[in-house]
Amino acid sequence: MPRPAGKVVGQSSFYAAVVTLVVFAAFPFYWMLITTFKTDGDLYNLKSIPYWFNSPPTLEHLKYLFEDTLFVQWLSNSALIGLCVVAITLLVALPAGYGLARMPGRSGENLSIGIFVTYLVPPTLLFLPLARVVTLLGLQDSMWALVVVYPTFTIPFCTWLLMGFFKSVPREIEEAAIVDGCTVVGAFVKTVLPLSMPAILTVVIFAFTLTVQEFVYALTFISSSREKPVTLGVATDLIRGDIFYWGELMGAALISSIPVAIAYNLFLDRFISGITGGAVK
């Protein structure tokens, strides 16, 4: 029996649920967006409706952010740190993932789980001793400290992800290359690497985003404004005492979030399959 009324109610409650959830998730970002372009008079006015512009939008905050703060410096710090960490991660995780994937029996699997588990070790447990290690390396208050420390969490995760992928590359292809005249390393470089480009791209994106998202180590190791990555700089330097420059703050948060959010969304499925250990294809 068709029940049009019930169907309409079901439909609308379904959409209501979706909308509620989306609003809960995305409202803070809408709030960032609108705050960025509101004039101070509009922002700090209790009378008007805050959801929309009550006076014309302004670029004042962004102008201040780019011209009178170290925001650009922080952005480039983050980019540089990210690139270096990606390079170190690839250099270490590519061979490791391959070595583990081709280890005979269960030893490779067990060893890789051992490495993966270190991804669970939180910065909170290690920031005190690592601060000392960083000082020993002469890197205190320098962003290079982060370049050294961040691979501790990118390497385990990326090795794990790459191992899973390398395992899916048939051994026959490498062996064909070996019989056809390659060394073991040559076969890896000429056949396995080109076939793994999607996985390598994923690793690059994730090492980069994980690096950009990090906050605790940056907070612990770095105090000079010029050395800060963008997450730390925005969260600490744009707040002077109790005075918050909300327009600038939200603008900075928005600009730094957008690229990360896009990259993350594109590679989400691979990330999930990595974290669940390939249980989900």
| Subset of residues 52 to 81 that bind another protein, contact rule: CB under 8 A | none
In the complex, the smallest distance separating the C-beta of residue 93 from another protein, rounded to whole angstroms, is 6
- Strand partners of residue 23: none
For the chain, how many helices (H) and strands (E)?
16, 2
**Binding span for another protein by CB under 8 A among 56-64, 68-76, 79-87, 191-199:** 191-199
Residues 118-157 that bind another protein (CB under 8 A): 118, 120-133, 148-149, 151-152, 155-156
**Binding span for another protein by CB under 8 A among 64-72, 79-87, 110-118, 199-207:** 110-118
**Binding span for another protein by CB under 8 A among 56-64, 65-73, 114-122, 138-146:** 114-122
Residue 59 or 168: the one with the smaller Cβ distance to another protein is: 168
281 binds another protein (CB under 8 A): yes
The single residue among 186, 189, 225, 237 that binds another protein, judged by CB under 8 A, is 186
22 binds another protein (CB under 8 A): yes
180 binds another protein (CB under 8 A): yes
CA-closest candidate to residue 147, choices 137, 158, 157: 137
Contact call for residues 156 and 119 (beta carbons, < 8 A): yes
Please, what sign has the CA dihedral across residues 260, 261, 266, 268? Answer: positive
In the complex, the smallest distance separating the C-beta of residue 145 from another protein, rounded to whole angstroms, is 11
The single residue among 2, 4, 5, 46 that binds another protein, judged by CB under 8 A, is 46
Reported in sequence order, the residue ranges of 142-213 that DSSP labels E, i.e. its strands, are: none
Residue 58 or 82: the one with the smaller Cβ distance to another protein is: 82
Reported in sequence order, the residue ranges of the chain that DSSP labels E, i.e. its strands, are: 239-240, 243-244
The interface mask with another protein, positions 78-107, x = CB under 8 A, is -------------xxx-xx-xxx-xxx---
Sequence length of the chain is: 281
Exposed, middle or buried by CB within 10 Å (0-12, 13-18, 19+), for 237? middle
Residues 215-234 that bind another protein (CB under 8 A): 215-216, 219-220, 231-232, 234
- For 244, phi then psi, to 5°, come to -105, 130
CA-closest candidate to residue 199, choices 271, 264, 259: 271
**Binding span for another protein by CB under 8 A among 69-77, 138-146, 199-207, 271-279:** 271-279
The span from the CA of 42 to the CA of 64, in Å, is 17
The interface mask with another protein, positions 199-218, x = CB under 8 A, is ----------x--xx-xx--
Contact call for residues 164 and 274 (beta carbons, < 8 A): yes
* Number of amino acids touching another protein (CB under 8 A): 111
Residues 239-268 that bind another protein (CB under 8 A): 244, 246, 249-250, 252-253, 256-257, 260-261, 264-265, 268
Contact call for residues 85 and 151 (beta carbons, < 8 A): yes
The span from the CA of 131 to the CA of 217, in Å, is 8
In the complex, the smallest distance separating the C-beta of residue 5 from another protein, rounded to whole angstroms, is 20
Is 10 in a helix, a strand, or coil?
A: helix
